[in-house]
A and B are shown apart, each in its own frame.
Chain A
Amino acid sequence: MRDGLDRWADPPLLVLASLAEEPKHGYAITQDIADTMGVRLSAGTLYAVISRLESRGLIEPLESDDRRRPYRLTAAGARELSEQSERMRQVASVAQQRLRANYGWGGA
């Protein structure tokens, strides 16, 4: 279940984080990730991730008459994102603490 989801800045996590704001279609997801997280996902990567997250029930498509079908985060997706972001927060906290103690620098 966690394969590929526990890597730093992994595309599935970026997509989950983007959809945590509100439902979005493919182009809106790539724009949001580029604007807020500084990562530009290509079309192949984005839809490989979308199909994988959908098959695991972490996101779901919404009805749409347009070809630009929006997706939203499911409860399972929100739980997964919460767990992963908590782990990332712990790692970041420990890293900043040690950087401050040993190098005098701990980021913002």
Chain B
Amino acid sequence: MSAPQSPPRGRRAGIAARAALSLYPPAWRARYGDEVRALLEDSGGGPRAAVSLAWHAVPAWAWPPRQLHDGSGRMRASLATTGVAWVLLAGLAAVFAQLAQAQPSSQGQTLAQHPVIQWSYWAFDGFLAVSVLSVAAGGIPLWWLMIRTAHRRREVAWLLAPAVVPAVYLVATFVIADLVSRPSPPVGPWQSGPVADLANGGVGPRWFLALVVLGFAAAVLAAAGPALALRGLRPEGPAVVLAARAAVLATMTMGLACAASVVAAVGLYLWAPADAGYHESWQLAVYLPAVLLSSAVAVVSATRGIRAARPPAVA
């Protein structure tokens, strides 16, 4: 270290520059944060430093330095985000099923008349089934691994959320539907209960909307449990890699199911305007962006997770 290069000690880094430093990814800050703060103190850390730091925070997120590669951490974060996005997509799919497939109105005639809607329904059902099976196949081993770790630390509560929260929601829905439902004769065995036909006069539009909002809240809460457990328990190994791969498949198939539901919804809007669900343009205007946004988050997150599973390339 050359003596003439000694910094003038004692200056304080500017507030803006220190705030700009907080824009960087946590791993970057953990590695370089102290050094940058020291540099800002030595050099004054004026507006130029703040702008420069803020500008370079973007590539630090987009192309993180290879030496900061934390494959397991990235996979866990991606799994948590993908899980929440997948749950939102599943919620949208459930709303679609209620507003379209479970309707006892003239759907039978519509299905027979228009093959686009019929094929979209079949594609929706098929992709949805594959997606749910993928989540089960990839998620249960990781969930079990976390349960065992959490049991030792007595932190099991969050991990029970995916089972407990939906169960509570379903019981509440049954009770509410039983209390407020209006009589409507079922037209098929799948519509024998009030939950299977909430939308079509079963509980009325306001109660239906309330149950949908409550359902999304319950879904996010159910997904937040494992997401928080992933952060706290920090599982590693084959179970995490399997879950990351299953998340990609589950996300792709759920995205395809939702795409099929969008086709069906547009078809209902165009060719079956008399049906109970998706016959107004505002419904599509809400449904389509919600599907696209959730799908985009899920795809980006799942892709980042699967990329993190690969070891970094040698320089």
Binding site for B on A (CB under 8 A): 1, 21-28, 30-32, 42-48, 50-52, 54-57, 66-70
Tally of contacts, chain A with chain B, CB under 8 A: 93
- Chain A residues whose C-beta falls within 8 Å of the C-beta of B67 in the assembled complex: 51, 54-55
Interface residues of B in 58-88 (CB under 8 A from A): 59-60, 65-68
Interface residues of B in 1-25 (CB under 8 A from A): 1-2, 5, 7, 17, 20
User: Are A26's CB and B36's CB within 8 A?
Assistant: yes
Q: A25-B35, A67-B38 are in contact. List 5 more A-B contacts (CB 8 A).
A: A28-B1, A42-B53, A47-B39, A56-B315, A68-B39
User: Are B39's CB and A51's CB within 8 A?
Assistant: no
Q: Is B119 an interface residue (CB 8 A)?
A: no
Q: Which residue of A lies closest to B4 (CB)?
A: A31
Report if A26-B52 is in contact (Cβ < 8 Å); known contacts: A43-B17, A51-B65, A55-B67. no
A107 to B34, CA, bound (A): 43
A55 to B312, CA, bound (A): 11
User: Are B60's CB and A48's CB within 8 A?
Assistant: yes
Q: Is B49 an interface residue (CB 8 A)?
A: yes
A42 to B38, CA, bound (A): 13
Report if A24-B5 is in contact (Cβ < 8 Å); known contacts: A48-B60, A54-B65, A67-B34. yes
Name the one of B56, B66, B315 contacting A44, with C-beta atoms under 8 angstroms: B56
- Chain A residues whose C-beta falls within 8 Å of the C-beta of B68 in the assembled complex: 51
User: Are A30's CB and B52's CB within 8 A?
Assistant: no
Report if A70-B1 is in contact (Cβ < 8 Å); known contacts: A43-B49, A54-B67. yes
Report if A25-B1 is in contact (Cβ < 8 Å); known contacts: A43-B36, A67-B34. yes
Interface residues of B in 24-64 (CB under 8 A from A): 28, 31-32, 34-40, 42-43, 45, 48-49, 51-57, 59-60
Residue from the set B42, B49, B51 with the largest chain A CB neighbour count within 10 Å: B42
Residue from the set A23, A47, A56 with the largest chain B CB neighbour count within 10 Å: A47
